[in-house]
C-alpha cells in the first residue's frame, strides 16, 4: 500500500547480468520533497538501480512506481517532470552552450524563450554566463559537468536523479554543489542522489540507502542509521609507542580497537559508554601525547557492515 508522502515506490527489484546479480531483491521508497541518497562503493549497484528507475533497462523482477502527481501512479514519468544527470556525461561538444541548454529545455516541455532565460540564469549562478556562446569542448571537465547539471534541472523538474553529481569537481565546487542541491530541494524538487562520497552526502541527505553488492545494508535517516550502529563515538589516541592493545580491547566500554600506525590508536566506544574511565586506564599504561574525539560517520558504519556481511557469508 502506498504512503501518501511517497513520490517513488520500489518493490523487490532484481537485476542480473549473466551470472552476476547487480541488484538483489531491493525495496525502498522516496518521499516527496526530500533528498534521498543511494550510497555505496563503485560496483554496489547504484547506477544499475538508477537506470532501472529511468527505464533505460528493465528489472528482471519487481515493481517501480512513480507518484509525481499525488496519487496518480506511472511507470515512466513525463520528460517535463523528470531531471536526470547520468553517470556518463554526453552533451553536444561542438555547439554553443546556450543553444544546447535551450534545446534541452525545449525537449523537456519548455517554450524556447523560457528555456533560454532559465539557461542564462543557471549559467550566471554557476559563473559561466560569459562563456554561453562558446562550445562545450572549450570548457574544463569541471565546467562541462556544471553545464551537464544545468541541462538536468533548468526545467524545474518535480523529481531529479543525480548520478555521481560530484564527479570532476574540486573540493570548492563540491561544497558549492552541496548548497545548490539543498536549494533545489528547498524549492520543491525531490532529489535522488547516487554517489560514493559518503562524507559529503551525509551532510545533506534526509534519508539514506547504503548498498553493497546490490543488497541493502542500511536504510533510514542518517541519525537512525547511526543509532543502530553498535558503536557510539570514536577517539584517536596518540602515544609514544603502541605496546599490546589487549588492555584496551578488553575494556567494557570498547567496541573495537584499530592500530592506525606506530603511534596512533583508533578506539570505537560502545553506545552510551563513558570516555573518562577508558582514558584513565590508557593514561596509566601508555604515554599519551594527544586525544581526538570524532563522531561516527557513514563511512565507519559502511566498513563495519561490510565486514559483518563477509564474516556471516564465510561462516
CB 39 within 8 A of CB 196: yes
Which pLDDT value is given to residue 3?
A: 60
CB 91 within 8 A of CB 100: yes
Where in 32-142 does DSSP place strands (E)? 35-39, 61-69, 72-74, 82-85
Which pLDDT value is given to residue 229?
A: 66
Which three cell numbers mark 147? 553545464
Which pLDDT value is given to residue 308?
A: 67
Which three cell numbers mark 250? 578488553
Which three cell numbers mark 235? 577517539
User: Which domains does the chain show, CATH number per domain?
Assistant: 6-226 (3.40.50.300), 230-295 (3.30.70.1560)
pLDDT under 70 in the chain at which residues? 1-4, 70-77, 229-235, 242-244, 271-275, 294, 308-315
Which pLDDT value is given to residue 244?
A: 65
CA nearest neighbour of 237 among 271, 214, 263, 211: 263
Which pLDDT value is given to residue 284?
A: 76
The residues with which 237 forms a beta bridge, in sequence order, are 265, 291
Three-state SS for 203? coil
Per-residue model confidence as pLDDT tens digits over 138-170 = 999 899 999 999 999 999 999 999 998 988 888
Cα 268 to Cα 124: distance, rounded to the nearest angstrom: 46
Cα 183 to Cα 151: distance, rounded to the nearest angstrom: 17
CA nearest neighbour of 154 among 94, 79, 88: 79
β pairing state of 190-195 and 61-69: unpaired
Which pLDDT value is given to residue 60?
A: 96
Which pLDDT value is given to residue 73?
A: 61
Number of helices (H), then strands (E), belonging to the chain: the values are: 10, 14
Which pLDDT value is given to residue 76?
A: 61
Say how many C-beta atoms besides its own lie within 10 A of residue 135's C-beta: 15
- With residue 24 as reference, give the H or E element that holds it: strand 20-31
Which three cell numbers mark 292? 581526538
**C-alpha distances in Å from residue 162, one per residue of 82, 168, 176, 278:** 11, 14, 15, 44
CB 306 within 8 A of CB 292: no
**C-alpha distances in Å from residue 281, one per residue of 189, 250, 253, 288, 292:** 52, 11, 11, 11, 16
Amino acid at each position: 500500500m502506498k504512503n501518501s508522502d511517497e513520490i517513488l515506490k520500489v518493490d523487490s527489484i532484481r537485476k542480473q547480468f549473466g551470472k552476476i546479480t547487480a541488484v538483489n531483491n531491493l525495496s525502498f521508497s522516496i518521499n516527496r520533497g526530500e533528498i534521498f541518497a543511494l550510497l555505496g562503493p563503485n560496483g554496489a549497484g547504484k547506477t544499475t538501480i538508477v537506470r532501472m528507475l529511468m527505464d533505460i533497462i528493465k528489472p528482471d523482477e519487481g515493481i517501480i512506481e512513480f507518484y509525481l502527481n499525488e496519487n496518480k501512479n506511472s511507470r515512466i514519468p513525463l520528460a517535463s517532470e523528470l531531471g536526470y544527470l547520468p553517470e556518463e556525461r554526453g552533451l553536444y561538444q561542438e555547439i554553443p552552450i546556450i543553444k544546447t541548454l535551450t534545446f534541452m529545455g525545449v525537449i523537456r516541455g519548455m517554450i524556447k524563450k523560457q528555456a533560454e532565460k532559465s539557461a542564462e540564469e543557471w549559467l550566471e549562478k554557476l559563473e559561466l554566463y560569459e562563456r554561453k556562446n562558446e562550445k562545450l569542448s572549450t570548457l574544463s571537465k569541471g565546467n562541462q559537468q556544471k553545464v551537464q547539471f544545468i541541462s538536468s534541472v533548468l526545467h524545474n523538474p518535480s523529481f531529479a536523479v543525480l548520478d555521481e553529481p560530484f564527479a570532476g569537481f574540486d573540493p570548492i565546487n563540491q561544497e558549492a554543489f552541496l548548497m545548490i542541491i539543498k536549494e533545489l530541494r528547498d524549492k520543491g524538487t525531490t532529489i535522488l542522489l547516487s554517489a560514493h562520497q559518503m562524507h559529503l552526502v551525509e551532510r545533506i541527505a534526509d534519508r539514506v540507502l547504503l548498498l553493497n553488492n546490490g543488497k541493502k545494508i542500511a536504510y533510514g535517516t542518517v541519525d537512525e542509521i547511526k543509532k543502530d550502529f553498535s558503536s557510539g563515538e570514536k577517539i584517536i589516541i596518540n602515544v609514544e609507542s603502541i605496546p599490546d592493545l589487549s588492555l584496551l580491547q578488553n575494556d567494557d566500554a570498547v567496541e573495537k580497537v584499530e592500530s592506525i600506525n606506530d603511534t596512533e590508536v583508533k578506539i570505537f566506544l560502545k553506545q552510551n559508554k563513558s570516555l573518562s574511565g577508558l582514558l584513565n586506564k590508557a593514561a596509566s599504561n601508555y604515554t599519551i601525547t594527544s586525544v581526538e574525539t570524532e563522531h561516527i560517520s557513514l563511512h565507519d558504519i559502511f566498513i563495519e557492515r561490510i565486514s559483518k556481511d563477509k564474516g556471516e557469508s564465510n561462516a
